[in-house]
Amino acid sequence: MASLYPSDVAALVVFDIWIGNWDRGGNIKAAVVSEHLPLFLAFDHSHALLNVDETAGGSIARLGGGSLIVESHPFYGRATPDMLDKWVERIARMDAGTVAECCGFGRPFRSVGTETQEALGIALAARAGDLPRIVSENKAKIQVQGHHGNR
């Protein structure tokens, strides 16, 4: 799959590292035999963002703490270093206002109040800036160790 969708695979690895999504395994749909119909979809962030830890506050603290949360991922060892670097740089360049806008609804949403939304935006903006270091310090776990083909 990584050879068919190299940018998508790298983007998903970096995005999941950024949001702390540690349950990616069964949440991918990709077309691997129909070359005329490229399809690569990832969904379900139930174990990310405010659900990284047992509480929203704990999740925000972990996301803002700058450590690798995603210890295993179906695409660790399959994304190429150049594609990983591209996506790390792309997310790291996002300004804090954009991240805050994506995290905030301007009103409570379900059980998430505006203060929690704002705190999540701040933590994710900081984490975006930390992504180059997080990925660099964990290269041995994240990057290609050899050619894996379509596994």
Tell me the whole-structure pTM to 2 decimals: 0.86
Per residue in 108-117, pLDDT (tens digit) is 999 999 999 9
- Determine the pLDDT at residue 128: 98
SS (H, E, C) the chain: CCCCCHHHHHHHHHHHHHHCCCCCCCCEEECCCCCCCCCEEECCCCCCHHHCCCCHHHHHHHHHCCCCCCCCCCCCCCCCHHHHHHHHHHHHCCCHHHHHHHHCCCCCECCECHHHHHHHHHHHHHHHHHHHHHHHHCHHHHCCCCCCCCC
Domain that holds residue 13: 6-142
Per residue in 26-83, pLDDT (tens digit) is 677 666 667 666 766 666 667 899 999 999 999 999 999 999 999 999 999 999 999 9
Q: What is the CATH number of the domain that holds 13?
A: 1.10.1070.20
Report yes or no on 131 lying in a domain.
Answer: yes
Report yes or no on 147 lying in a domain.
Answer: no
